[in-house]
Amino acid sequence: MKREPAWRVFAAEYNDTTIELKGSGEKAPSYIVTPLGGKINRVYITGVLTDVENVTEGGDYLRAHISDPTGVFTLYSGQYQQEATSHLQRIEVPAFVAIVGKVRTYEPEPGTLYLSVRPEMVHEVTAEARDRWIIETCQQTRQRILAITEAMKMVQPNVYDLRKVGVSKDLAEGVVTALKRYGSLDTTKYITLIRESLQYIAPGKEGFEEAKAQEAVEATEHREKAPPAGKKTKQKAPAAKKGESKDAEAVVLEVVKALESAEGAPWDAIVEECKKQGLTETAVEEALTALMDKGFVFEPVLGTIKTT
């Protein structure tokens, strides 16, 4: 039996999934199908390990969370993943980690699907490795967007015609299943996700990240059908607001670095310094929350912020 590939997928797309294809037979693999058509049995994810906790008293079954620019993956690891479990127990959080693991599903009732990951391998990595993963995952997300956009142009989406335009067999099968089960998809959310994920690499900075984001989505936007006139105008306003948010994050991150000691920077001092630079208290708090979600800073004790 061939080893299933490990897909690069952001938490937002992974957690949006509601379709599971269960294998028939004892050793037949099962898959989830994401809204963009990823037919996934295994994943490769990189992000910030934010917490590890014992689920059982003996400490042989763990729950952990990994944050990427779009959301959070939940991990469960136990005695059958002893090496991964031991490694998770030794890591001092927060830490950048790379995980290869298998999809886990839990369906308490029909129509409700909870997803997690069962780690096979766990490695601590650098911030640079996390940044490379973001870029590679953006590229793979873009490929799925292009494939599902192509399929939506077809009268009857099918694997054969998708293969003719260069879509891989696994992705073509996933795209056809996704359109049947989810229906027609608005890809705007995932195009925005690519832009924002690349901006997370260096919040608030122009240049490389902006250029890469534009490169990642331009082809998709040109190949999509033009939306109704009203819709296009509607989508432009939030973009400016998000840009302002990124600028606030950049200011706050620089202030934290300037005020930081070995113990960290006091929350109140951060707020006061940022106010002097023209930010409101609300904007500072929102920026700090966003930076914590992205793994740039954490709160070792209540009221103190440290960079990772």
How far is residue 81's CA from residue 295's CA, in Å, rounded to a whole number? 26
End residue of a domain, out of 77, 103, 125: 125
**CB atoms inside a 10 Å sphere around CB 25:** 6
Q: Is residue 303 part of a domain?
A: no
Q: pLDDT at position 159, please? A: 95
Q: pLDDT at position 76, please? A: 95
Q: Are residues 111 and 193 in the same domain?
A: no
Q: Are residues 163 and 228 in the same domain?
A: yes
Q: pLDDT at position 210, please? A: 44
Q: Quick check: 110 pLDDT over 90?
A: no
Q: Are residues 200 and 226 in the same domain?
A: yes
Q: Is residue 300 part of a domain?
A: no
Q: Are residues 12 and 114 in the same domain?
A: yes
Q: Are residues 22 and 66 in the same domain?
A: yes
Amino acid at 148: I
In which domain, by residue range, is 175 found? 133-238
- Is the CB of residue 98 less than 8 Å from the CB of residue 80? no
In this predicted model, what pLDDT tens digit does every residue of 217-241 receive, in sequence order?
A: 544 444 444 444 333 333 333 333 4
Amino acid at 182: Y
How far is residue 276's CA from residue 271's CA, in Å, rounded to a whole number? 9
- DSSP state, residue 5: P
* Alpha-helical runs (H) found in the chain: 11-15, 82-90, 127-152, 159-164, 169-182, 188-199, 208-223, 229-259, 267-276, 281-294
Residue of 142, 122, 105, 100 whose CA lies nearest to 15:
105
Q: Is residue 248 part of a domain?
A: yes
Q: pLDDT at position 240, please? A: 33
Contacts 24+ apart (CB under 8 A), 179-183: 179/37, 179/148, 179/151, 179/152, 181/19, 181/33, 182/18, 182/19, 182/35
Banded model confidence at residue 245, pLDDT cuts 50, 70, 90: low
Amino acid at 151: A
Q: pLDDT at position 302, please? A: 66
In this predicted model, what pLDDT tens digit does every residue of 45-82 receive, in sequence order?
A: 999 999 999 988 776 899 999 999 999 999 999 888 88
Find all residues with CB under 8 Å of 247, minimum gap 6, and list them: 204
Q: Is residue 206 part of a domain?
A: yes
Residue 221 phi, psi (nearest 5)? -65, -35
Q: pLDDT at position 10, please? A: 97
In this predicted model, what pLDDT tens digit does every residue of 115-142 receive, in sequence order?
A: 999 999 999 999 999 999 999 999 999 9
How far is residue 252's CA from residue 269's CA, in Å, rounded to a whole number? 11
End residue of a domain, out of 216, 238, 260: 238
Task: Name the strands in the sheet holding 304-307, side by side, starting at the edge strand that comes first in the sequence.
Answer: 265-266, 304-307, 297-298
In this predicted model, what pLDDT tens digit does every residue of 151-180 receive, in sequence order?
A: 999 999 999 999 999 999 999 999 999 999
Q: ∠ at Cα 249 (239, 139), nearest 5°?
A: 60
The pair of structure tokens assigned to 88 is 């998770």
**Based on the structure, what is the number of domains in the chain?**
3
